[in-house]
Copies of this chain bind each other. A is one copy, B any other.
Amino acid sequence: GVGDIESLDYEIIENYAYREEQAQRGKYYTVYYVMVKWLFSLLIGIGTAYAAIFINLAVENFAGWKFSATFAIIQHSYIAGFIVYILINLALVFSSVFIVTQFAPAAAGSGIPEIKGYLNGVDTPGILLFRTLIGKIFGSIGSVGGGLALGKEGPLVHTGACIASLLGQGGSTKYHLSSRWLQVFKSDRDRRDLVTCGCAAGVAAAFRAPVGGVLFALEEVTSWWRSQLMWRVFFTSAVVAVVVRSAMGWCKSGNCGHFGSGGFIIWDISGGQEDYSFQELLPMAIIGVIGGLLGALFNQLTLYITNWRRTSLHKKGTRVKIIEACIISLITSIISFGLPLLRKCSPCPALDANSAIECPRPPGTYGNYVNFYCAKDEEYNDLATIFFNTQDDAIRNLFSAKTLHEYSAQSLLSFLVMFYTLAVVTFGTAVPAGQFVPGIMIGSTYGRLVGMFVVRFYKKLNVEEGTYALLGAASFLGGSMRMTVSLCVIMVEITNNLKLLPLIMLVLLISKAVGDAFNEGLYEVQARLKGIPLLESRPKQYMRKMTAREACRNKKVVYFPRVVKVADIVSVLRSNKHNGFPVVDDTQNGEQLVIGLILRGHLLVVLQSRIDFQHSPLPCNPSGGSVPIRHNFSEFAKPVSSKGMSVEDIHLSQDDLEMYIDLAPFLNPSPYIVPEDMSLAKVYNLFRQLGLRHMFVVPRPSRVIGLITRKDLLIEE
């Protein structure tokens, strides 16, 4: 719920401990720090690449084995094959939903909204834990291998982010897998950068699209971007590309079972359509519009269905979740096996002898023209070719060139309706689930449909249905996820065809524009539903007419004096849920001065350690001398993805409660301040652009000590 979600602190708290740490740093600290950052980028790349390879290997082998077993059995009995098929799928899906519900509830879904939230500054509990990582990896093997209408690409982004975050905190403390040596990054700020690298690595590994990964991180998941980060994210993606490539090379020699033949998700259409004529722009624009409409509809339907799940179904406990997933698995199996059975087979086309394509495909191989429940040997079942197949192969078949008239409009249409429904229904079950591959399936189906009409209507020979399938895929993803540049690059990288770039751009622009007319992007909709309070990049229009003071709505500010009684701190912390408190001091002339901001988390650390308690209610150094610092900077570091301490965890004796604490060493002495009548739009920009958590609204200043301009910031040391 919303209540659990806490903001992250990206600000550098310049308290005494921090300044001490800064002062103690040697000459080479910066060099060391930079090197460690690069080392981590390398490790994230390697880790994510291996996770992706593992998931792909496992999925391809499970699915490949499943289909070859089923095909072997249906040679004798379709009933027996059906039952085996259903049972294998059920077993896989059950294992997935079991792992997720029992062990890693945060691993359900794609995880991208949560990661987006994390990088926007809000921490969803449990999202970056070690158990989530494990649940995600094994769960997505089960759910994808089990043939559900979902993909493994979204989960891989989450996996990359988990790996990055775990590395960043030096392993998982809970499972005693941590290493002090690795604990270099103690601030939310550094972790944010690592997680960004992890996301890019995830996409790079999922699609073998290194540039697409960088752009995905930049366009879709991050809220802040620095040019140095670009450079590091790029490095991570390059590492992923190299590692994945060498693994692929190793698999080519047949070490990886079914994997070698199926391969990684790359649907090479470089042999396809070379050029396009201007008349084709109209059907392509129509594809864009369809993509926008169907994508927006998808977002809306999944919103309703997830909402319903959250508010009624999933409240009934994990057993309901498990049963639900199993039922959906059953339905999916029945439809994907049964629907092709109902379909009449078509006679094989006359393929030329040079072509690598055979009809029907030889038993035990992958490819087009599947012979399934056909009377004659020279026939194929076009619905089985896309439905009774792994998703990767189905997409490859839909994208394939030189297979004109392979599909009938009827088959494509019934597949579209069925798969769309399955994808909507499956969305939100308690298994790891990505929306990329289902989106590509849906899009390429209607794309190919349009392509069939174009072939018939324009009677041109150089039109390829596969090209339209690709454009359809781009349009659906654009209409649902509303990405542009990154999606464009990903599509180009996975299809290995640069020539279609302008067409993909066109289609994406149209589908995003159409989709935006109806609702927000899939991830934003889902984040909102999950109560992740994302700050958009722009303030709302009405904020221009409000002031900062109005935004605070005259709430009484809860603050602390500089030296405060322990009992008072405890009672204040118990009485509210605020996470930051101004600290006020009295000067000699009796005036009040705001001297800083103290965080709840830091107060709790101080309370628990007790070493700063003092008997006197006077500041430890009213004269302004140096304060002894009894804390290490790292003690204030908050553990990732955990709520940290709570006041209730702290038990103090009556004596302790009667003592005092001087807060000056622990507070952030220079929080950001805004004058009370600044417009809320400006406040919003400040807050959002700098990634803040707290901001003080203060009265107009009485004088200006100085002006800072560009010249003042360009001084040399």
Contact = CB atoms under 8 A, between A and B. Distances in A.
Interface of A: 7, 12, 14, 22, 30, 121-122, 210-211, 214-215, 218-219, 225-228, 230-231, 234-235, 237-238, 241-242, 245-246, 278, 484-485, 488-489, 492-493, 496, 498-499, 501-502, 505-506, 509, 512, 533, 535, 537-538, 540-542, 544-545, 548-549, 551-555, 557, 559, 578-580, 582, 584, 591-595, 669-670, 672-690, 693-715, 717
A701 B594 contact: yes
Contacts of A554: 706
A534 to B, nearest CB: 9
A551 B694 contact: no
B501 A557 contact: no
Given A22-B544, A673-B701, A695-B707, A552 B712 contact: yes
B704 A488 contact: no
30 contacts: A215-B485, A226-B538, A228-B537, A228-B538, A231-B512, A234-B485, A238-B506, A246-B278, A489-B489, A542-B717, A548-B706, A548-B708, A549-B705, A551-B715, A552-B707, A553-B706, A554-B706, A578-B707, A580-B709, A592-B703, A669-B677, A670-B674, A670-B678, A676-B706, A689-B689, A690-B690, A697-B707, A697-B708, A698-B705, A699-B701
Contacts of A695: 707-709
A542 to B, nearest CB: 5
A7 to B, nearest CB: 5
Contact of A594 (B226, B502, B702): B702
B700 A537 contact: no
Given A211-B485, A690-B685, A227 B537 contact: yes
Given A210-B501, A584-B704, 5 more contacts: A14-B679, A552-B712, A594-B703, A670-B677, A697-B706
B506 A498 contact: no
Nearest to A585: B700
Given A227-B537, A537-B226, A548-B708, A702 B22 contact: no
A592 B696 CA distance: 21
Contacts of A501: 210-211, 241, 493
A680 B713 CA distance: 8
Contact of A708 (B552, B700, B712): B552
Given A30-B541, A537-B226, A704 B557 contact: yes
Q: Which of the listed residues A237, A708, A711 has the most CB atoms from chain B within 10 Å of its own CB?
A: A708
A430 to B, nearest CB: 28
Nearest to A505: B238
A399 to B, nearest CB: 16
Nearest to A249: B278
**Which 6 pairs, one residue from A and one from B, show the smallest C-beta to C-beta distance?**
A552-B706, A670-B678, A698-B701, A238-B505, A697-B706, A695-B708
Contacts of A677: 669-670
A696 B687 contact: no
B542 A238 contact: no
Most buried by B among A498, A533, A684, A704: A704
A245 B278 CA distance: 11
B498 A492 contact: yes
B673 A675 contact: yes
Nearest to A700: B593
B242 A502 contact: yes
Contacts of A670: 674-675, 677-679, 682
